[in-house]
Chain A
Amino acid sequence: MIQSNPMNSNLPAVPSEASNYEMRYATYRALEKLKSTIWMDYDHAKPTIAVCVWDGAGAVDSINVFTSFESAVERNQADIRVVLQEIDGTNLEDQTAVVFLLPIHELHTRVTPEMTPALTDHFIEQLRRQEEESRRIIRPGKGPKAAAKAVPTRSESRGAGERPVFLSGTEPKFPFFRKKRERKEALELRAPVPEKTDSPLKSALTALSNELVRKYPADENHVVICTAEGRAAAKAVSLYTAIRNAAENENIPLTIHIKKIGNGYLRHMSPIVLTAPTEAVYLNVHAEDADNIVRRTVMRGEILEALTFQDSAGVTPRSLSITELTDLASIRPESESEDSAPETKPDPIALLVPGKAVFRDDARELLETPEIKETILYSTLKPENAPEKARPSAAVKPAETDGGESGLMTVEALFAVAADAANETIESGTDPVRAGNDVHHAGTIEEYDAIREKSATVSPLNQPQLLVIYGTDDERETAAAFAAELRESSGLIDIKISLSAALGIPGGGVSLRIDPAGILYTRLRRSDSERIMRMTVADGIVLPEFLARDPRSGKRILLYKDHPWIRQQTRLISADFAAIASESLSSVINHEGYRGSVRALTMRPDEILTEIKSSRLRGRGGAGFPAWRKLELAAAELAVPKTVLAVCADWLAEAILARAPHLILEGMIIAARTIGAKKGVLALQNCSVYTKKICQKALRDAAANRLIGANILQSGFRFDLSILNLDGVKPIGDESAMIAALSAGNPKAKTAPRRRPPYPTQSGINGKPTAVFDVRTIAALPAILREGSAVFAAEGTRSSGGTFFIAVRARGKNFSLAEIPIGRRLDVLLLNSLSYDERKRIKGARLGNRHPCYLSADQFHFALDETTFETIQSPLPSAIEWLDESENIPRRVRTDLKRSLDELDPESRMSAFGLEALIDRLDALTRGEIGAEGDLLALRDLAEGVRDMAQTRAEREAVLPLISTLAYFPDDFRAFLPETAPRAETGEDAK
């Protein structure tokens, strides 16, 4: 192990054959580039050994080198940081392991574990010499505290770093001609690497951290919370409290600053947390992250990867966590067969064996605690150096706003800003359900508590269970089959397996959530069930090949809640969806299901109305009518019986309904209670058999537990719900048609758009007041009542509160569902859903489902809220598809128009003829029959005329695709004009 030859020279042992080794020019280039990258980006304050690692065959070697370096450094008791540096390994495949010594800037290639002690000694020797030199030259002042602890001055290290030397391996000697030829070859063989440019967000973040963090002295702990005004401020308040509490708990001195930011990008990332002296930048920090920030970042200088900005454009050189390290090691080249799976081979994957940790009762907390994580999960790896004790110089104190830092705010100011946004600060610790109690309805609460107890015994909360997660409806079949397969292979193991209500993971296919820890497996096939049962469920081994990968950083993600897609959502309505089995009532009840309706039953209707009004909820079906207004109108009517009609006519609405039928039932009870309705109808249009079945089952379950029906929960309130299938009613989603169909006596009523007023709230089913809501609107009501309207209104905009469901997809991929707050900007959503390279190719977005509108990429400053989209006469989109450069916009528009034409109400002839005319004109355009720019204008005039002459909203929106594309993608249409081509040619000729 230890090299035999004495280490007298400043060079470590060089393999003898290395002198004859000639490096490829491409490799040389890659190394040069690596040198400059690391030199530019590294923190030079501390001596560091950076072991470069990349995905691929050499990763295991690199990790071995890394561990042996760590042990060597520890043996020498040197204050040297050993980090793993993730790099792009192109052209360096045969050079493993590459080691970079900082600040002396030596690059070693082909390092083996045997060489590490010698290299470490050499490094320490170099450091010491540097230090002596500096002392000699500058001033014999403060010497190093310990002999082994070398702290080189900054200026020197930079001077020395200008000429890095190759040590291991050889200096490449290239004959001149050969070098030229090689370069040519390299250029020909490899496609030109696109210039990596920094994304604007990245540069904004860098600027911010430069501006703030560098100011603070390195021996004090600082945390800066950057927040924008409005709802983010409310989050910042809770975050501030949480961080302060955490710091007090750990008893470390910590100064917390608050800064207001105005940058458009950063607004939507706020609250942003910057820490010093560890320069971490965390985005979208929630209050629950405070503990981790204090314990891991402040106290131990770790970077929490899940919170950082991850962007492939940034190529952030950063140290890897141990999780990633083992993940990387697990990646093998495809040549190796799958039989070399972890259980057969004792390689680093075995490090992930967590014992039975997954299924311990306290597994969730266990996985959270960093110490446990290391000791239990990764006990074979040597833990990192003991965490630096926090410097006890300053006591925990609230933000110091004086001292000339103009950008910082006082806590009072922050509170004021937050209060301004949400009208009332969120009271933590008070249960809104209990708070809104009426003495007379104590029985209802007791009844509900009894049901909760019962369901807690039926299916205890922290019991192991497997929840199969699916994305789109197409995957549900597969998911169900997979669940069945799991059940079959479970054999004697007693574990609950069911379909989860989670909204799905993009690209995750059929996924599995393993409770209670919340571990997420993705991309599962039926053949995997056996292995998951045997390894993970029976033996408690986490199988890394099933773990999801962060599409941007390539990192593996262990827990469901750490998935970036989940993190970027604001889950008010779907907070517990992942842990709920959608078919099981007890699972719903365990997660506070029906609590909102219990609260509604104990409140007076006007109180509920006030609550909903202050939540600023708007209808999610498209028109965006304020929900409270509709409820108020219906409640004010005297005629009885009133009806609540929940409509599910959209695939997105169906996706929500199929996942959380009980949520809809609960919401309908709340709405019924508000307006005093005794009857409810859940109208399903174009829904799958599964949805119908699961709704019926939910209704049966709820009725059996007296959660619906006569005398709900002993409250004396009666609400009868029926689920009706209205597939035959055309046009789909038209409420007048539905009401006409539901009215008894004339089932074949005229389906033409009825003249309004009277609105359905005055005269609906059978001429009685009817409150018609989309299922998605209904789904928001329980959250409002359960959490309180302030929590709901804290999200969203001034005119429209809360969150909404949206389906996002890129070209060629499936839709993935997410819950995001109203008012999120499109570019932020884009940022969160695609990687930088993908984003660069995006030229626009198709927003909406049935009647989409198209926006080009330069319009991505649009915020997703009703008022913004009103300006382009579009409803709030419920689906977004990113369009890349290869998209043929006119053809897409034609498809949209054709489908609208087919779905149109047959009675509205003018709109139908208008659509026919538009399709005819579009065809003429694509055939090249339209010859002039003026004809495009005529096309636009025609489209706008058809829009303006429309009778109903559906007709009006049917033309939206064409109008928006003509406005935002004019060049796609101009490309068909015959003149433009010759004009462009002549322009080039003129050049």
Chain B
Amino acid sequence: MINLTIDKKPLQVDKPVMILTAARENGFEIPTFCDVGDLTPDGSCRVCVVEVTYPDGTRKIQPACDTPVCDGMRVRTATAAVRNARKQAAGILLSLAPDQPKIRRLAESLGVNEPIFKSNRIGPGACIHCGICVRACAEKSSGILRFSGTGGDRRLTLPGIDPKREKRECEVCIPYCPTGALKRDLGLGIGAEKAARQRLRNRLRTLTRWLFLVLSGFAAVSTATSDLSPSHGISILARVNPFEGLVILLAHGPNRALPYLPALAVVLTTLILGRVWCGWICPTGTLLTLFGKKGRRIRYQGLRRAKTILFLSALIFALVKLTFFLYADPLALFTRFSAAIRALTLNRQPPAIDGESILRLALPFAALFLLNGIERGFYCRYLCPLGGFLGLISKFAFLKRVVDRHGCVQCGECGKSCPTGAIADDRNYISDPGECVQCGACQPDCPADAIRFEFGSPFRRVPIEFDFGRFEWIGAAALVTLITLAALIVTALFGR
């Protein structure tokens, strides 16, 4: 049993653990930077320094993370000198990498807001020589990564390896880098293989989407021309539409909904893989995300709940046998062309260009297309009721996008590359599983390899951005009621 004092509070510790461990167990706050959970501490960042008075009277300022406690030791965690040393250490780190949010946040927590000097090493992803990657490499891998050179020429090297030729499978060190410099800037090629694989996968996704677009177009045209379903006029495409199926089920009963059985496959896929439909398959989505700004531009992202409200309103209307919400359905939007095609092919004449046909066929699509000027895939983000439906399901999907909060350097690259703007900058770059379309565009650019798509329990705790709170449920209900009322009034006035 080791007796020691931390900030004048006597403590007892069983084993000769490090001061940091003992202090944290007993509720003392000591800031750390280079102390990464599963690596042996080496006290190189000097942010966790404390003042230690040994039993023989010598007093030193030591890093808490690699100084073991000993009997009779007195520790003070917040003397003026200690605070100053921490502050200056943070200031130096900040000056070396002024743009790194992780370091900036650390510095701000210690009272440094601006770089204290102009370093000549500053770059977009400057290496701050913290040495964590070297430790990680030594402990978790071959230990080949090390610093070489002295003074200003000191840099990370992989001795004996030509980064241009050899392939390196090991990427253990990447998540440990606090600035992301390891993957981005050092020219060592660490993580380049993986990123290349991920880019290839992304290209594959694009290819798949266009393939499905072409197939859908073909299906729509063939439906229109060969009249595969003369009775109800539903295309092959519509049969996999779970939204339409659900609305029909509620409005017209199971018999009419029977052709929509294939849509269950989409629901199941969504339950397993998330909104893969939206990211990989949906032809309307492919067209409507052709251009526009990625990321988020609209400040109030709560608007995303509109699509869920639309979806719920549709369900309520369906109960009273009103199905006009299907006009907003993405596949309906797509297949609406088929009517024109049908007219073209069957009647051998172009459809009449009158006000009604423009209003019904071209205008909605054009309007939605132009809304991309605000944000890419505006429709998919805010309006698509099918998306709202799948989003609700995918909250319980097995495959979800997960961000490693320790590894994330908060560079914001992922948010910029997300086509649906699902990644929240202000919430540690997590994404609501209801919004993520599993496209994987965010992955290759992540300097810390912190983004993974992981299978897991559907009920595991994942940060969810756009869930409905209690008041939002009430508001949503009220909104649905209002829409219903408005629709009823409109039907009453014009339906006659």
Contact = CB atoms under 8 A, between A and B. Distances in A.
Interface of A: 755, 901-902, 906-907, 909-910, 912-914, 916-917, 920-921, 924, 938, 941-942, 944-946, 948-949, 951
Given A909-B131, A910-B44, A916-B119, A948 B151 contact: no
B117 interface: yes
B118 interface: yes
A945 B85 contact: yes
A917 B84 contact: no
Contacts of B81: 944, 948
A910 B92 contact: yes
Shortest beta-carbon contacts, A-B, top 5: A945-B88, A949-B46, A948-B85, A920-B117, A917-B117
A59 B195 CA distance: 95
A941 B81 CA distance: 9
Interface string B79-113: 00110111111011001100000000000000000
Nearest to B43: A951
A917 B49 contact: no
B117 A949 contact: no
B232 interface: no
A920 B118 contact: yes
B88 A949 contact: yes
A921 B92 CA distance: 12
Nearest to B149: A906
Nearest to B131: A909
Contact of A917 (B46, B85, B92): B92
Contact of A942 (B88, B147, B150): B88
Which of A924, A948, A951 has the most CB atoms of chain B within a 10 A radius of its CB?
Answer: A948
Contacts of A920: 117-119
A902 B150 CA distance: 8
B186 to A, nearest CB: 16
B416 interface: no
A945 B87 contact: yes
B383 to A, nearest CB: 52
Given A755-B66, A941-B84, A906 B150 contact: yes
B137 interface: no
B116 A948 contact: no
A942 B85 contact: no
* Interface hub of A755, A910, A912, A924 (most chain B Cβ within 10 A): A910
Contact of A949 (B49, B95, B119, B154): B49
A107 to B, nearest CB: 69
B151 A942 contact: no
A941 B95 CA distance: 16
A914 B151 contact: no
Residue in B91, B92, B118, B129 whose Cβ sees the most chain A Cβ within 10 Å: B92
A909 B129 contact: yes
Given A910-B46, A949-B88, A916 B116 contact: no
Contact of B95 (A906, A907, A909, A917): A917
Main secondary structure of the interface of B (DSSP, over half): mixed
Most buried by A among B81, B88, B89: B88
B45 interface: yes
B188 interface: no
B84 A944 contact: yes
A945 B89 contact: yes
Contacts of A912: 151
20 contacts: A906-B149, A906-B154, A907-B147, A910-B89, A913-B92, A913-B95, A913-B119, A917-B92, A920-B118, A921-B116, A941-B88, A944-B88, A945-B86, A946-B92, A948-B61, A948-B82, A948-B85, A949-B46, A949-B49, A951-B43
A948 B84 contact: yes
Given A913-B92, A913-B96, A942 B44 contact: no
Interface in B296-345: none
Given A909-B44, A913-B92, A949 B116 contact: no
Nearest to A920: B117
B66 A906 contact: no
Given A921-B116, A942-B116, 6 more contacts: A912-B151, A913-B95, A917-B117, A945-B86, A948-B49, A949-B85
Contacts of B131: 909
A902 B46 CA distance: 21
Contacts of B150: 906
B42 to A, nearest CB: 9
Nearest to A907: B147
A916 B84 CA distance: 18
Contact of B89 (A902, A906, A921, A949): A949
A917 B89 CA distance: 11
Contact of B151 (A902, A907, A938, A946): A902
A916 B88 CA distance: 13
A906 B154 CA distance: 8
A901 B151 CA distance: 8
Interface string B147-183: 1011100100000000000000000000000000000
Nearest to B34: A910
A910 B48 CA distance: 13
Contacts of A910: 44-46, 89, 92
B315 to A, nearest CB: 61
Contacts of B88: 914, 941-942, 944-946, 949
Nearest to A755: B66
Contacts of A924: 117
Contacts of B151: 901-902, 906, 912
A645 B92 CA distance: 38
A906 to B, nearest CB: 5
A917 B61 contact: no
The interface centre, meaning the residue of B61, B81, B84, B87 with most chain A CB atoms within 10 A of its CB, is B84
Nearest to A921: B117
Contacts of A755: 66
Contacts of A909: 44, 129-131, 154
B346 to A, nearest CB: 77
A909 B42 CA distance: 12
A919 to B, nearest CB: 9
Contacts of A944: 81, 84-85, 88
Nearest to B150: A906
Chain B CB count within 10 A is highest, among A916, A924, A942, for A916
Contact of B92 (A902, A914, A938, A948): A914
Nearest to B90: A945
Contact of A938 (B43, B44, B66, B116): B116
Contacts of B66: 755
A907 B95 CA distance: 19
B82 to A, nearest CB: 7
A299 B156 CA distance: 81
Contacts of B46: 910, 949, 951
A914 B117 CA distance: 10
Contacts of A917: 91-92, 95, 116-117, 119
A906 B116 contact: no
A895 to B, nearest CB: 16
Contacts of B130: 909
Interface in B30-45: 43-45
Interface in B360-379: none
A951 B66 CA distance: 12
A37 B341 CA distance: 129
Contacts of A949: 46, 49, 61, 85, 88-89
Contacts of B147: 906-907
Greatest chain A CB density within 10 A among B117, B118, B131 is at B117
Contact of A945 (B84, B95, B96, B154): B84
B160 to A, nearest CB: 15
Interface string B404-436: 000000000000000000000000000000000
B118 A942 contact: no
A302 B61 CA distance: 61
Nearest to B46: A949
Contacts of B49: 948-949
A574 B85 CA distance: 44
A755 B67 CA distance: 9
